[in-house]
Amino acid sequence: MLLVLLLLISFSGYAFASGIKVKVTDQATQMPVANVIVKVNNSAITAFTNADGICYLDKVPFGKVAIIVWAENYKQQVIDITVTEKTTELNVSLEKLKINLQEVVIKGKVNPRSDQQSRLTEKNTIPAIDIASGDLIENTGSISAADVTQHIQGLSVTRTSTGNTDKAIIRGMEAKYSYTLINGFKIPSPDDKSRYISLDLFPAGLLQSVQVYKSLTADMEGDAIGGVVNMVMRQPQDEPLFQINLSTGYSGHYFDNQYRTFNSDAVQNHSPYERFGPAYYATGADFSKSNLDFYNKKPLPDVNANLLFSHEFLNKKLGLIVAADYKNIKTGSDGFFIPLNTQPNLNNVPAFSDFYRHSYSNNKVALSTNEQLVYKPDNSNKFTLSHFYLNQKDIESRSTVDTSLILGRSGAGTGRIYVSDRSRVHEQEINNINLKGNHNINALSIDWAGVFSEATGRYPDWSVLTANTGRLVAPDGSITQSPLYLAPLNRIWFSNKEKDIDVYLDLHYKPGIFNQKLTLSGGGLIRRKNRDNFYNSYTFTPTINEPFTNINNAVWVNDNGPQNPLGNVNNPNNYTAKERINAAYIMADLQSGRSEFSGGLRMEQTDQNFISTLDPDVSYGKIVNIKYRDWLPDLHWKYTLNDQQQLKASYFKGISRPALYDITFATIAYEDYIVAGNPFLRRTQADNYDFNYTWYQTKNTQLKAALFYKHIVDAYEKTLLNGNDELYPIPQNGLDYTPAGQLTEQFKNTGTAINYGAELYYSYDWRNFVITGSYTYTSSNITRIKKLLTREDPNDPSSNLVTVSKPEKGPLEGQAKHLVNVNLLYKNTPGNWLANVSLIYTGKHIDLVSPWYNLDYWQRPNVTVNLSAEKRLSRKFKIKLSASNLFNNGITDDILVPNPNGSGNLLPAQKQVNKITVLKQDFSAYYQLGLNYQL
């Protein structure tokens, strides 16, 4: 009945209505404006202008109506007219919107995930900052935070073995020179060695934006030289939100490859030692077999889903957001790797012992949630309770054919061959909960926060099942292949847990002088970090002449049990570490005319303490205490040239603390080679200068330019030590230091490095397109002490071979001289279409520093092209399609010395004589199809 009535009303309206032609032009240029939304207020009558700026409004009811005219980049107009039968045309001229530098004008009215909000934040933030907005995250089809960061100028990313983006390199400074925040709070790392957190862990769907600070103020933690990545998780918003994104994906790798896997459910999360205690004598029955039983299958399509809910309660005093993300993604890659032999041939002609052909299959299964509750009892007080949880499992198999380049090799397809399969599950978990408060009491504002976080990483039952055979050439040229025999097996459990408890306090005071333009701030941080590392391994030795078929038929000595039934836990990889950071700062901010000055001084006191399982009867160093204090000044200046243009200049001092693992006495022995920790490693200290210019022409048309210069003292790098080189400055046996004793790799301070460069960013708005391009030039220089294998008397070929030190200059590891980013966004609002193409170019850079002179692994330039498109089906539904790394670009590393084999085939996979290709990893495109529902 009601329906009938409604129909009648609308029919009655129909009888008294008019069609109106609307033409929209730009006020300044008089040019027509396309894609303008023209809407009759309080009705469903809506139209979009065409390329001539024209649209038609049908059946506009007679009488007084308000017509809303809105276009991106233009000021919205509301035209009140009285429609009669004579009303047939309406001309509207729109005024182009200028981004106003006065924050207050727009604040609160802009979608917090939009580009616009990000540009605003960039403008209003005094340190140098670049922000990847939620828009960018959506438009580029990013899956993880790492995918997002590669679109930011000055940043490049490293990749995992199956091609997923991993860690960010900021301005040529590798991950150890940066830190990561969630909602402004530092979180501990689930990584087994480093402080750094893989950005692959953070799902793009939960991100509001990614902020990259390139300079620091005194209220920020000081241990960044490259920069800070702040992941802003989705925040409660004004409008109720319920959103579901559901997508499926497939790696192009599996169009024509099989996915190799094992039963990961069979992996025992805890070693026999952990399960049965230290006195337990493990037998073969304590070890599962099916996680070493490998098989191939065609993978099912992937799942990538997330859900968001946000609502406000209690008269908008209480805001809530709940977000969850689930991923099950399979990626794979093929490639090869030729590691350098532990030492080269005479005069550092590279020597290689093995050629590894690897094939990786990775399955990432991750669940993350983000919840935030914001309570604003009044305008002066705000409480925020946030929680972030993440659990990611990387189930990875790696099958390898290792051809010995030494033993029995007389040409392609001959010699000793190892065939192996690695079963590895890496589980990472992060739990971060924080409560913060903001209070304004007249001229004083107080911010406080308490943070508890825990990060866990574990590799349960990491093992490589290996068998070997040989193909030997007889004098008559025939090849004899020996049977496939089982090789020794190690089964390793290792895990790490880091717990942080932090308390933050910040006070801001406006003393009411200088026209309220002065803010004095002070505050501090107390952090208690505890880290536990656990390592346990079991060794199995095969019986002699045991032909290999599979793990179920493998026979080991000791009744199929391990050689060390008690497990190996009493080793330097087991340690507990504590780190206490006490920091305090003072800071002043003054606005004066067009300038804003900010200066501050931060003090950070670091206390580190380690206890290892080293036996004090055997060695010193069971307990290590390290203390230092840093004074970190900063000075920032922001100058507003006019409404559109702004300059920023800054200086700050930053540090980089070595990872806790690197400063223990941990020692790992390889055959002929040792990797040793270094408690004497000094933190890196750097003076950083930054200069920024920004010109905001319209919302999407802008120019940004930046220059930076970093003077880095006590950079540290992996360094190779000779037997006589200093391992530790501890006097031993008449020497005033402890020599390494043999070839040892260790982190050493390598002296002073310089890093400078420039960034240029331009985005241009043209009709339905936004074209964005950025270019970054970086140049760094560090002197590393390398080794050279030469003759004692280079002119006497009968003199002894000696290893001598030789300094070599080069760029920082991972620093590419040239980075280019191009992004083309096409928006067809009337058609509800959006498409985006991006291209990322990373120039040549050192992938791996060799401790030997002139033998670094250089990665070739690399281009990635990503494509994504979305079409809105209705107000509630949207479909999305994306392809990342469309052209299957992988990575290739070379040693830049001539190949002494020329075009000979003793070294496989060589195509050029002027360099030696030592690593190649083929990555595949990843395709996604998704559906987005929004209430």
Partner 1 sequence: MKLFKSLLLLSLPAVFLFSCSKSSNDQQIQISTQEYHTGSFIQNGDTLNSKNKSNGRAIKGTLKAGQTYYLSSDYAAATINKGDTLVIQSGVKVYIVGPASGANAIGTQEHAPGILVNGTLLSLGTKENPNIFTVQNTALKSDPTKDPQDPNTDPAFKGYWGGIQGSTTSGDIILKWTRLEYVGGLTPANSPTRPTLSSYGVFFQNPNANFVLEDCWLYGSHDDMIRVAGGKYEIMRNTFEKVGFIAGECVNIKSGSVGDIAYNVAVGGTGNCFKSANAGGLSPQANMTCYNNTMVTGGYRQQKAGEGGSLDFENGGRGLAYNNFIVNCAYGLSVLGGSGTTPAADTTNIKYGYTYNYGDNTAITTQFLPSGFITKVQTGDINGGNATVPGANNPKFVNYPLPMAANTAFINLDFVGNYNFRLQSSSPAVGKGYTDFKPYAVVKIDKVFGATEITPPGKDIGAYQMDGTGNQH
* Residues 27 to 86 in contact with partner 1, rule: CB under 8 A: none
In whole angstroms, the minimum distance from the beta carbon of 224 to partner 1 comes to: 19
Report the residue number, 243 or 917, with the smaller CB distance to partner 1. 917
Report the residue number, 231 or 351, with the smaller CB distance to partner 1. 351
Structure tokens at 525: 């941080």
- CA 488, chain centre distance (Å): 36
Binding track, positions 474-503, relative to partner 1; x by CB under 8 A? xx------x--x-xx---------------
Report the residue number, 473 or 635, with the smaller CB distance to partner 1. 473
DSSP character string of 334-394: EEEE-PBPSS-SGGG---B-EEEEEEEEEEEEEEEEEEEEEEEEETTEEEEEEEEEEEEEE
Interface residues for partner 1 in 319-348 (CB under 8 A)?
Answer: 341-343, 345-346
Residue 640 binds partner 1, judged by CB under 8 A: no
Residue 742 binds partner 1, judged by CB under 8 A: yes
In whole angstroms, the minimum distance from the beta carbon of 796 to partner 1 comes to: 11
Backbone φ and ψ for 346, nearest 5 degrees, come out as -50, 140
Residue 801 binds partner 1, judged by CB under 8 A: yes
Interface residues for partner 1 in 256-285 (CB under 8 A)?
Answer: 279-281
Structure tokens at 215: 């300079």
User: What's the CA gap between 234 and 182, in Å, rounded?
Assistant: 11
User: What's the CA gap between 10 and 43, in Å, rounded?
Assistant: 11
Binding track, positions 83-102, relative to partner 1; x by CB under 8 A? --------------------
Interface residues for partner 1 in 440-469 (CB under 8 A)?
Answer: 468-469
In whole angstroms, the minimum distance from the beta carbon of 597 to partner 1 comes to: 28
User: What's the CA gap between 151 and 115, in Å, rounded?
Assistant: 13
In whole angstroms, the minimum distance from the beta carbon of 561 to partner 1 comes to: 10
User: What's the CA gap between 395 and 717, in Å, rounded?
Assistant: 31
Report the residue number, 417 or 867, with the smaller CB distance to partner 1. 417
Interface residues for partner 1 in 667-726 (CB under 8 A)?
Answer: 667, 669, 671-672, 674, 679-680, 682-683, 685, 713-714, 720-724
Is 850 exposed, middle or buried, given 0-12, 13-18 or 19+ CB atoms closer than 10 A? buried
Residue 797 binds partner 1, judged by CB under 8 A: yes
Residue 352 binds partner 1, judged by CB under 8 A: yes
Residue 472 binds partner 1, judged by CB under 8 A: yes
Give counts: helices (H), strands (E), the chain: 6, 51
User: What's the CA gap between 787 and 781, in Å, rounded?
Assistant: 18
Residue 798 binds partner 1, judged by CB under 8 A: yes
Count residues contacting partner 1 (CB under 8 A)?
109
Residue 618 binds partner 1, judged by CB under 8 A: yes
Residue 795 binds partner 1, judged by CB under 8 A: no
Report the residue number, 901 or 912, with the smaller CB distance to partner 1. 901
Pairing of strands 716-721, 801-810: unpaired
Which region, judged by CB under 8 A, interacts with partner 1, from 289-297, 436-444, 448-456, 556-564? 556-564
- CA torsion sign for 800, 804, 810, 811 is positive
Residue 565 binds partner 1, judged by CB under 8 A: yes
Residue 729 binds partner 1, judged by CB under 8 A: yes
User: What's the CA gap between 535 and 664, in Å, rounded?
Assistant: 15
CA–CA distance from 597 to each of 517, 585, 591, 594, 638 (Å)? 10, 17, 6, 10, 6
Report the residue number, 471 or 578, with the smaller CB distance to partner 1. 471
User: What's the CA gap between 748 and 739, in Å, rounded?
Assistant: 14
Report the residue number, 88 or 481, with the smaller CB distance to partner 1. 481
Binding track, positions 842-881, relative to partner 1; x by CB under 8 A? ----------------------------------------
In whole angstroms, the minimum distance from the beta carbon of 728 to partner 1 comes to: 9
Structure tokens at 769: 């397109």
Interface residues for partner 1 in 279-318 (CB under 8 A)?
Answer: 279-281
CA–CA distance from 859 to each of 759, 813, 817, 892, 917 (Å)? 22, 11, 12, 6, 10
In whole angstroms, the minimum distance from the beta carbon of 228 to partner 1 comes to: 24
Q: Who contacts 805 (Cβ-Cβ below 8 Å, separation ≥6)? A: 722, 725, 785, 786, 787, 788
Which region, judged by CB under 8 A, interacts with partner 1, from 218-226, 303-311, 595-603, 729-737? 729-737
User: What's the CA gap between 278 and 283, in Å, rounded?
Assistant: 14
428 and 390 Cβ atoms separated by less than 8 Å = yes
Interface residues for partner 1 in 204-233 (CB under 8 A)?
Answer: none
Report the residue number, 714 or 893, with the smaller CB distance to partner 1. 714
Please list the residues that pair with 603 across neighbouring strands. 584, 631
Residue 544 binds partner 1, judged by CB under 8 A: yes
User: What's the CA gap between 304 and 882, in Å, rounded?
Assistant: 13
Report the residue number, 301 or 565, with the smaller CB distance to partner 1. 565
Report the residue number, 593 or 729, with the smaller CB distance to partner 1. 729
Structure tokens at 167: 């860690």
By CB under 8 A, name the one of 269, 732, 905, 912 that touches partner 1: 732
Residue 224 has what DSSP assignment? Answer: -
